[in-house]
Chain A
Amino acid sequence: MTRLLLRYRRGLILSSTLLLSFVLMTLQVRSQSALADLTKHLLLTSVSPFLRIAAVSKAATVTLWNEYVDLRRVRLDNQRLREETRQLRTQVGELREMALETYRLIGLLELRNRVGSETVSAKVIGKDATNWFRTILIDRGANEGIQRHMTVVTAEGLVGRVVDVTALAARVQLITDPESTVGVLIQRSRVAGIAAGNQEGTVQIKYLPLMADVVIGDRVITSGMGGVFPKGIPLGRVLRSSRPTNGALFQETWVQPLANFSRLEEVLVLKQPPANDLPWGSGERLP
């Protein structure tokens, strides 16, 4: 028996790993099994502290490099002038960075005050490790009361929803993820549709009636239908819209999201849906 196992060990190991992978996928996709979720959480928990440390040490390394290591290269004859220039530039850079951070945090703070319900601000510590999905990792988890399906926003608008939570971190599915769907309204004409992400990382509104009143530049907000996202959060602006002439029943409408997903640094997690529609004002960036 042992000899037989040893003889066919390659095939056995390959088929075992493939079968195990398939079982894990089936457990998660078909039955939302707790075992698959637990395994994923354990793996993520084993890495997330290192991700946090990496984020902190990266900032420290940049500071150390800018303020000390780089200085050693300066030639002696013009050291003073270069140092002065460098220090001024560093100061300008730091002030600019502080101003930008303050600007973003003020935006989040004002948003938090306007929303009125309990929120948690979080930093983005990682982005999706594949080209197949669009998710981000934030540095707040179950310890801060984060739960699945909580809405995540920035001062600009909707970012997505929490899909996985560990003690110290949480994964957020962006609205551009191919598996993401959000009930939306065209704010001006109140026509309802469903905003879905796609493989290209953009957002398309589906099921908008062929004759619906949609104009380029129209604001798109969440409709509150579906029970996950509160009503009234701005999602984007209509980028282009076309009415197919091939007998299709619905318009093809693409939306430019208001949130800039390539530059996300801080987000706000809505722990409870607001009692009333969200007062987002014009939906543009805060002053």
Chain B
Amino acid sequence: MIAFLLALLGVCLLQSAVVPRLAIGGIRPDLFLVLTFGLSLSAGPEVATAAGFLVGLYQDSLSGAPLGLNAFTLSLIGFLVSQTSRQVRTAELTGRLGLLFLAGLVSGLTTLLVLRFFQVPRPWTSTLLWTVLPGTIYTTILGAGFLAMPKPKALRRLGR
């Protein structure tokens, strides 16, 4: 639990202080998604959903998003990734990256739908092409580095 909270704090710091410097054309990778994804690969759906919710709440507090937007998306992503990872070959890096790419797309689409539901609509085509897709690709590329790293024992324990 402490390892997860430390990882969450680290991601909060990186995402708001370092990641903006890595922006390409205004698009930044989403480390909160990578954290949720990495945890969900080894954790059960219950833990992954709850962790996604907490991670999302912190992401909401660090952005102009209404509280709950990313909590909703990342809870769903945590649950789906945890469920899917039992059926997809995620032992290999390519399998994990493919799943991370899909998770990024689902996250973007869910955010678009929720924003639309709350009367904050964004144009579909341009948002998908210029925000969701580049963001997902960038997150996947950066996520490759994180996912290839050996996982600390504490996080593995939390996963079990």
Contact = CB atoms under 8 A, between A and B. Distances in A.
Given A25-B72, A44-B62, A179-B120, A199 B126 contact: yes
A26 B114 CA distance: 11
Interface string B1-34: 0000000010011011101100100111010100
A187 interface: no
A2 interface: no
B67 A14 contact: no
Kindly name the residue among B16, B19, B70 whose own CB sees the greatest number of chain A CB atoms within 10 A: B16
A55 B18 CA distance: 10
Interface residues of A, number: 50
Contacts of B59: 129-130
Contacts of A30: 118
Q: Is the interface of B mostly helix, strand, loop or mixed?
A: helix
Given A131-B26, A131-B131, A24 B65 contact: no
Interface string B100-140: 00000000000100110011101100110011000100000
B70 A29 contact: no
A47 B12 CA distance: 8
A29 B69 CA distance: 11
Nearest to A163: B64
A22 interface: yes
A173 interface: yes
A201 interface: yes
A58 B53 contact: no
Contact of B30 (A17, A23, A130): A130
A126 B62 CA distance: 9
Contacts of A36: 66-68
A258 interface: no
Contact of B63 (A17, A135, A199): A135
Given A22-B72, A24-B71, A54-B17, A132 B115 contact: yes
B67 A24 contact: yes
Interface string B39-61: 00000011001101100111111
Contact of A43 (B58, B126, B131): B58
Nearest to B47: A13
B37 interface: no
Contact of B75 (A14, A28, A130): A14
Interface in A1-38: 9-10, 13-14, 17-18, 20-30, 36
Nearest to A38: B67
A200 interface: yes
Contacts of B126: 199-200
A117 to B, nearest CB: 26
Q: Which 7 A-B pairs have the closest CB atoms?
A: A133-B64, A24-B68, A126-B16, A21-B72, A43-B61, A25-B68, A127-B20
Interface of B: 9, 12-13, 15-17, 19-20, 23, 26-28, 30, 32, 45-46, 49-50, 52-53, 56-72, 75-76, 79, 111, 114-115, 118-120, 122-123, 126-127, 130-131, 135
11 contacts: A10-B79, A21-B68, A22-B68, A23-B68, A25-B68, A30-B118, A125-B16, A128-B20, A128-B62, A129-B59, A130-B65
